[in-house]
Each structure stands twice: as structure tokens, then as C-alpha cells.
Amino acid sequence: MFENTKKCDVQSRQYLLFQENTIPRTFIFSYLASTNLKSQNLKQFFQSHGAHHQWSCKGYSTIPYCLPTCWLQCHVDISDQILEFNMHGRVKTKTNAEDKEAKRKEKEKKLKLYQTGIEKAFTKRKTGEYDEESLAISAQLLTANPDITTLWNIRREVLLHFKDEGQRTEDDLQQQMQAELCLIEQCLRANPKSYAAWHHRRWVLDNMPIPIWKQELALCNKYLDLDERNLHCWDYRRFVVERSQVPAADEFEYTSKKILANFSNYSSWHYRSRLLPLIYPDPMGKLPIQERKHKEELEIVQNAAFTDPSDQSAWFYQRWLLGRTLQALRLAQVHVSYDTVCVSLTHSVSVICDKSKIRLELQLNGDNFPTTWKSTNGQQYSHVWISALPKELLSGDKTLAITVSLHSGSSLVHYMSLNSGKLKASTKPQFSAGFSEGITSVLQDELDSCTQLLDLEPDSKWTLLTSVLLMQAVDRHKYQEDTLARLSQLIQVDPHRSGYYKDLWSRYKMEYAFDQNNELDQNIDLSCLNLTALYHCHYLSCVHTLDLSNNNLSGHSLSQLHPLQCCQVLKLDSNNIANLHGMPALMSLQILSLRSNVINIPDEVKYLEPCICLSSVDLSDNPTEKDEMLQELVKTFLPSVKMLNTCPL
């Protein structure tokens, strides 16, 4: 393990230099943590220490690691490590034909015995023979293969039979359950990731007269020391912690220990994100955790991420820390037409479920008006809700005061007021991260560190992606061009995930467009933005004309247009739309342009039938334009349409 090392003296201190991958990265991270080395100084650290060796330094992936020998002697048993690594490389023993035949016969013999045991266990269950023999048979079978769920079910039925029939005292049941735990542990040695075995262990603890939680926690420690990525054991550990009421602070300390041992432990980072809000909740309820702890975690994860930029575990945890503050539930837009009221919310909620605490109320001239709300996407949860109004309500010259209010339980959350002269109201969308100056300062330092790292490794995808998220968190308008440039670079560097980066591009592009438009604009132009997906469409519920031409939208994006209940003109020219399956019912839509798409089946027009006010449909420059059946199908399914492909029907 340590054969590619050299000793050197750096500022009168002894160091060992390790070429790439000759030392576990956990040693590097442990050293950084013990010296409190800031990640923004990593570049200087490696360059200053790496200058004393002969290897080339093109980036972090080729820079050798250097650690003080005195620190290694305190933290690493080198002889044990060498012994452990020398265990590999054993010569495979060849087998002759006689040995193979003997093994085959032995395997057949075991298979027959196994099948006989299975048949007997199932027969005894069918005849209701819940006895010790059933336990013995199933135990032998499960020791060989712990993944047969039915056998564990048989054991549960037998144990419950003993308990319900009063055949065992409480002490006997305790001993029986302890024996069951021993059997499960024996099975887990054969397969430490057996779903059925871990599930049965939960059942045993829940039905044990006196559960031994301390022993179970020690068992979890043992298995996670053997395999820190055993997600079944991590899940079982959370179960044990919940049942035994282990303090969250103790578990947080355990995650710190596991991360220090190996910062590539994704399960530890994830568990940490679950514990932090319990121990350090944000008093304002906006950030994931308290600001002081938020800063500390950002520095810890930065050291981990920058030690090995190619490892994704720490980067994912950092993305959780960089999550935007949760926007409060409020009314986003309200629009009243002559027969409909349309309400858009900042969150997707249910206002029709009996158990829902959220409700919408409509008042006319101060009096409650009975309404029945309907979601525009046809689902129980939606951003946009509509309700029918009597057509004569807004007729005439009488003044009408309209108030739409949002309630949570007995509390008024938000309301908007309109009148006969002003039939729509809106709030400005908020897309900023909303971090404090202190957090923003830390994020700026991290962004600077990312920039340094990209100077050394310009194609590091995790660093590029994190820098994009950091720029959005620090100042999204200041870094608008840099954000889009790095997303373009990511599409080239990581083509397998180009779809994700293109969708992220679409999200940011739409957010910047919303920032530039007035929230009450009736005409919105989102053309030529290279959009592949649609976001925040609930802020378009008051729009009359929407232009989405010259993008890269497909038919899958059409379902996201359901908030456009006031839209009269919709342009979707020059996209990649091949079908209209997801087209929502847009009750006000009159003109729909789908020029220069890839629709090749004329039957697709039947999906426009819910748009009952359509008067013009343009399918020019689509493969289906020349189909002889197109005109007849339009007349059949869209009787209100008078213009097809700019020509009268």
C-alpha cells in the first residue's frame, strides 16, 4: 500500500508523499479535519507541499497527497494496513473433472433435501400444525436461504400461536424471542442485506416482552463497521433509535464518526440531514437548520467535497444545505371573468379534501358566496383552482367588491381584493434563495473555492453543478451569464445527464423571464429560450397571450399548461411536439398555433376537444398537414373551429 511513497521535509516537518490512490482518502480527510484546514486553502496546500516531488500536477486527480509522518503514526497502523492489503492476490486453485462431478452430486443432494423441507413446512402450515417442529424446519431452511419471506411468515404464525394460546409464560416467550434474534443474526451472516431477515427482526422486537434495545444498537454498530453502505442496517438503526428513544444528538455524533472514517458514506450524510433539523431547528422555519450550525455544516462538507471532487456523497449533502428557503403558502394570482374565478397558489395543495386544513373562500360585497372548487389539472392537489360564477353576476353597471381568502384551519393566511373595474390581482414571484448576509458570505467563499478547483479540473461535473447552485444562492442576477455558461459546459462534460441540465437551464430561463415581466402582463413572450420543460406555470394563470415558439418542448410538457385558464392565444410553433395527449382543458383558448412540429397522426386533434372555445388551429408544416383525414377529424372533434392552417373550414 505504501510502496509509492517518499519522505520529504516541508518547513522542518516530516511528510509522506502518496501518489494518487495509494492511500485511502479517509486519511486525507481525517488530517484536514484534525488541522482545521479550510478548503479554500487546499489549492495552496497541495501546490506548496506537492512542489517537493517529481510527479506532474495537472489537477487534483494527479496531485499526490502529503501527510505528516507523525500524524500517520498516531492515526494509522501502517503494519496492519500492509498486512491487510497483502491478503489479496491469492492463486486460484484449479479443479479437475472428478471434483466438479462430486460438487454437482452434492449440490443435487442438498437441493432435494431443501425441496423436501419446503414441502413439509408448507404442509404443516396448511394443516394448522403450529409446533416446535415447524420452527425447527423453517430455521434449517432459512439458515441456507434467508430470503424466503413465506418461511418467516410461518415462524411469526407459530410464535403468535404460542402467545395467543397461552402455551408460553412471559419468561418463555422472552427466551423464545431471544432465540429468534440469534437465528436472524445467523441468517444475516449469510446475507447481511436480506430484506426479509431485517423485517422479521423488527417484528420480533415489537413482540418481545422486554426488548433489548441496547443490544440491538450495538448490533447495528457491528454491521455498519463491516459494511457502512448497508442501507438495510441503516434503516433498521433508525427503527431502533425511534423505539428506544435514543437522543438525536447521540446519533448525530455517530454520523460524524462514520463520516470522519469515510466521507464517501452517503448514508451517514443522509442520516445527518434528517437529524440536524431535530437538533438545530430554524426558529423562523425558513432555513433547514439554525444559521450558526448551517455555516459549520457548509464548511465541513466543503472540506469533504474538495478532498475528492469526483465523489458524489458530499456534493449531494451540500445541495441539501443549499436548498432554497421555503416560500410561504400564499395566493399568487386571482382572476375573475364573467363566469369563472381562477385562483393560483404558491404551493400545490388540496382545498377539496375533507381532512384538508386548507380552504378557499369567496366573498361578494362582504358576504360569503358558496363555491365549489375544481383543480385545473384534474388531481386532488394543484396550484390552480377554479370555480363557476353566475353569468349575470358581473353584468350591468353595479359595483361589486370581490375578496378571495386563503385559510389554514381557523387562521386567515392571505387574501386578495378585487372589484368590477379590477378583475385580477397578483403577487411578484420570489425565486431568490433568501439566505442571510452571514450565510451568503460563507457561500461566496465556497463559490470562490469552486472557481479555484475548476482552474485545476475544468471538467469536474460536481464542482460545475455546485458552482451553479452557489451562484443562484449568492446572487442569481449577478451570475446570470455565468450560470447559463456553466450549464452549457455541463451538457458537454456530462452528456449522459444532459436532459437534467437542459431542464435546469429551462427553469432558470423561465425564472429570469418572470423577473423581467410585470406580474399583471397579459402578453408573455417565452420564445427562443431553448426550453425543454416548463416551470412555475401557475404564475401564468392571468395571461391572455403566451408565446412558447422556437423552443425544444415535447408533448410531455403540454400537461404543465393547465394553469392557462385565461389564455386566449397560445403559440407553440417550432418545437418537438409529436402528440397532443397531455393537452389540458383550456376553457378560454381561441387560437392555437402548432406550426413546424412533428405531429404525424391526424387523430391527435381529438385531444383538443376539451378546449371548447377553439376557433383556429394551425398545424402547418407538420407531417399530418397533408393527411386527407385531418379536415374531417377537426370538423368531428372540434366543431367550434372555423380556421384550420390559416384557411377557412
pLDDT tens readout for residues 303-320: 777 777 777 888 888 888
The pLDDT of residue 292 is above 70: yes
The pLDDT of residue 93 is above 60: no
Q: Are 189 and 197 in contact (CB under 8 A)?
A: no
Q: Write out the three cell numbers for 309.
A: 471532487
Q: Measured between alpha carbons, how far is 621 from 627 in angstroms, rounded to an integer?
A: 12
Q: Measured between alpha carbons, how far is 303 from 263 in angstroms, rounded to an integer?
A: 10
Superfamily of domain 521-648: Ribonuclease Inhibitor (3.80.10.10)
Q: Among residues 206, 214, 148, 217, which one has the least CA distance to residue 180?
A: 206
Ordered strands of the 424-426 beta sheet: 374-375, 382-388, 340-349, 331-336, 424-426
Name residues whose C-beta falls within 8 Å of residue 214's C-beta, 6 or more positions apart in sequence: 244
Q: Which of 303-312, 377-386, 492-501, 575-584 comes out lowest in average pLDDT?
A: 303-312
Name residues whose C-beta falls within 8 Å of residue 610's C-beta, 6 or more positions apart in sequence: 583, 584, 585, 586
Phi, psi of 67 (to 5 degrees): -130, 145
What DSSP assignment string belongs to 184-239? Answer: HHHHHHH-TT-HHHHHHHHHHHHH-SS--HHHHHHHHHHHHHH-TT-HHHHHHHHH
pLDDT of residue 519: 65
pLDDT of residue 288: 73
Ordered strands of the 367-369 beta sheet: 367-369, 358-364, 401-408, 411-419
Residue 209 neighbours by CB distance under 10 Å: 14
Whole-structure pTM value = 0.71
Strand spans (E) along 396-552: 401-408, 411-419, 424-426, 523-525, 545-547
Identity of the residue numbered 519: E
Mean pLDDT along residues 356-378: 88
pLDDT of residue 214: 92
pLDDT of residue 609: 93
β-strand partners of 419: 401, 422
- 3-state SS class at 644: strand
Give the chain's largest Cα–Cα span.
103
Q: Are 544 and 522 in contact (CB under 8 A)?
A: yes
Q: Measured between alpha carbons, how far is 298 from 321 in angstroms, rounded to an integer?
A: 7
Strand spans (E) along 373-480: 374-375, 382-388, 401-408, 411-419, 424-426
Average model confidence (pLDDT) across the chain: 82
β-strand partners of 335: 342, 424
pLDDT tens readout for residues 433-442: 778 888 888 8
User: Given 3-state DSSP classes, what are the helix, strand and coil percentages for the chain, each rounded to the nearest 5?
Assistant: 50, 15, 35
pLDDT of residue 573: 97
Percentage of residues of the chain with pLDDT beyond 90 = 49
Name residues whose C-beta falls within 8 Å of residue 50's C-beta, 6 or more positions apart in sequence: 17, 57, 63, 64, 66
pLDDT tens readout for residues 133-164: 999 999 999 998 899 999 999 999 999 998 88
Q: Are 543 and 522 in contact (CB under 8 A)?
A: yes
Q: Are 148 and 142 in contact (CB under 8 A)?
A: yes
pLDDT of residue 179: 93
**Helix segments in 68-127, DSSP class H:** 69-75, 78-85, 97-126
What DSSP assignment string belongs to 119-134? Answer: HHHHHHHHTT--SHHH
Matching residue, cell 358566496: 369
pLDDT tens readout for residues 259-288: 888 888 889 999 999 999 899 988 876 677
Q: Measured between alpha carbons, how far is 197 from 189 in angstroms, rounded to an integer?
A: 11
Q: Write out the three cell numbers for 244.
A: 428506544
The pLDDT of residue 1 is above 50: no
Phi, psi of 9 (to 5 degrees): -110, 120
The pLDDT of residue 53 is above 70: no
β-strand partners of 524: 546
Q: Measured between alpha carbons, how far is 519 from 277 in angstroms, rounded to an integer?
A: 35
170-190 vs 195-207: helix crossing angle, rounded to 10: 160
Matching residue, cell 434449517: 140
Identity of the residue numbered 211: P
Chain centroid to Cα 481, Å, comes to 27
Mean pLDDT along residues 99-125: 84
DSSP 234: H
Matching residue, cell 413572450: 525
Percentage of residues of the chain with pLDDT beyond 70 = 82
CATH class for the region spanning 331-426: mainly beta
pLDDT of residue 326: 67
Q: Measured between alpha carbons, how far is 630 from 611 in angstroms, rounded to an integer?
A: 18
The pLDDT of residue 83 is above 50: no
Q: Measured between alpha carbons, how far is 589 from 558 in angstroms, rounded to an integer?
A: 14
Q: Among residues 427, 423, 399, which one has the least CA distance to residue 415?
A: 427
Winning range, highest mean pLDDT, from 104-113, 339-348, 438-447: 339-348
Q: Measured between alpha carbons, how far is 17 from 281 in angstroms, rounded to an integer?
A: 43
For the domain 107-246, what is the CATH code? 1.25.40.120
Handedness of CA 547, 551, 556, 560 (dihedral sign): negative
Q: Write out the three cell numbers for 227.
A: 459494511
Q: Measured between alpha carbons, how far is 307 from 301 in angstroms, rounded to an integer?
A: 10
Terminal CA-CA length for the chain: 80
pLDDT of residue 96: 74
Mean pLDDT along residues 324-343: 84
pLDDT of residue 640: 93
Handedness of CA 276, 282, 285, 287 (dihedral sign): negative
Tell me the Ramachandran region of residue 365: left when phi exceeds 0, alpha when psi lies from -120 to 50, beta otherwise.
left
pLDDT tens readout for residues 634-648: 999 999 999 999 888
